[in-house]
Amino acid sequence: MLRPLTSSSVMLLAVHNWTSDVLRFGGTMSIRRWYAVRTRSRAEKVVREQVAQRGIESFLPLMMRVSQWKDRRKRIEWPLFPGYCFARFSSDESLLIRQSPGVVDIIGSALARPEPIPDGEIAAIQQLLSSRQPYDAHPHLEEGMAVEVIRGPLRGLHGKLLKKTDGCRLIIAINLIGQGAAVHIDVDDIASFQDSVNLDCPVMLGSDDSNRALFFHSSHRS
């Protein structure tokens, strides 16, 4: 039975990934990083399996979706980010990825170079999936209050706060592809943190009751 990841286990996982990602090829140094792989339509699972068969770590976030059939409704697994699969590889292994069946391209910069995704963003989605909390796909938020979850199964996660009539949601984003996941969150379980923080090396503003009260007093006034 899978146990939910805690903030400390996520931090240890990120450190382990970073220190174990350095591989030697012919005396040169290469680092494995996470990348977003664009797939053909409905080929996300095919790409996940093909990448894994090549000895490369892959990650395909899934969510449950209700599909209407002629005589019944059925719950099926559906990619959280349709058209994308994530893989952790070095620059020396990028050709293996591009040649995998179902792969369209590796998301990158204007210079056509693959753009790595911060480890913290992938770890956050992995923690969300392992928490067994209900979640759904949501567009990335450019605006919004940056918060940290300070208690519960999502403790340690960072994201943007979205206030709606039926409660608050935490938006956890993969910034490179402009998409994210939304999960309901209790206001007592979050605190503000510095908006410009890099998720690979977070710097907290604090999570005590006074900071949290100040945060919500300010947010309700705006």
DSSP the chain: -PPPPPHHHHHHHHHHHHHH-EEEETTEEEE-EEEEEEE-TT-HHHHHHHHHHTT-EEE--EEEEEEE-SS-EEEEEEESSTTEEEEEE-GGGHHHHHTSTTEEEE-B-TTSPBPPBPHHHHHHHHHHHHHT--EEEEEPPSSSEEEEE-SSTTTT-EEEEEEETTEEEEEEEEGGGTEEEEEEE-GGGEEE--TT--TTS------SHHHHHHHHHHHHH-
Q: Mark whether 65 and 143 lie in a shared domain.
A: no
Q: From 69, 90, 117, give the residue that closes a domain.
A: 117
Residue 20 lies in a domain: no
Q: Mark whether 89 and 166 lie in a shared domain.
A: no
Residue 126 lies in a domain: no
pLDDT mean over 88-106: 96
Q: How would residue 3 be classed by pLDDT, with cut points 50, 70 and 90?
A: low
Q: From 53, 84, 117, give the residue that closes a domain.
A: 117
Q: How would residue 70 be classed by pLDDT, with cut points 50, 70 and 90?
A: confident
Give the model's pLDDT for residue 124: 97
Q: Mark whether 157 and 209 lie in a shared domain.
A: yes
Give the model's pLDDT for residue 109: 72
pLDDT mean over 177-192: 95
Q: Mark whether 137 and 113 lie in a shared domain.
A: no
pLDDT at 201 over 60: no
Q: Mark whether 104 and 41 lie in a shared domain.
A: yes
Q: Mark whether 148 and 210 lie in a shared domain.
A: yes
Q: Which range, of 17-21, 70-74, 216-220, averages the lowest pLDDT? A: 216-220
Q: CA nearest 124: which of 166, 100, 87, 154? A: 154
pLDDT mean over 154-176: 94
Using a pLDDT cut of 70, give the percent of the chain over it. Answer: 73
pLDDT digits (tens, 9 = 90+) for 101-151: 999 999 997 677 899 999 999 999 999 999 999 999 999 888 889 999 999
Q: Mark whether 183 and 104 lie in a shared domain.
A: no
Q: How would residue 194 be classed by pLDDT, with cut points 50, 70 and 90?
A: low
Give the model's pLDDT for residue 2: 45
Give the model's pLDDT for residue 73: 82
Q: Mark whether 139 and 62 lie in a shared domain.
A: no
Task: Return mean pLDDT, the chain.
Answer: 80
Integer Cα distance of 140 and 29 in angstroms: 34
Residue 50 lies in a domain: yes
The number of folded domains in the chain is 2
Q: How would residue 196 be classed by pLDDT, with cut points 50, 70 and 90?
A: very low
Residue 173 lies in a domain: yes
pLDDT mean over 39-53: 97
Using a pLDDT cut of 90, give the percent of the chain over it. Answer: 60
Q: From 117, 143, 178, give the residue that closes a domain.
A: 117
Q: Mark whether 108 and 56 lie in a shared domain.
A: yes
The parent domain of residue 64 ranges over 32-117
Residue 18 lies in a domain: no
Q: Mark whether 74 and 37 lie in a shared domain.
A: yes
Q: What is the CATH number of the domain that holds 86?
A: 3.30.70.940
Residue 124 lies in a domain: no
Residue of higher predicted confidence among 219 and 46: 46
pLDDT mean over 185-199: 73
Integer Cα distance of 164 and 167 in angstroms: 5
Q: Mark whether 107 and 162 lie in a shared domain.
A: no
Give the model's pLDDT for residue 26: 44
Q: Mark whether 87 and 162 lie in a shared domain.
A: no
Residue 138 lies in a domain: yes
Give the model's pLDDT for residue 5: 53
Residue 123 lies in a domain: no
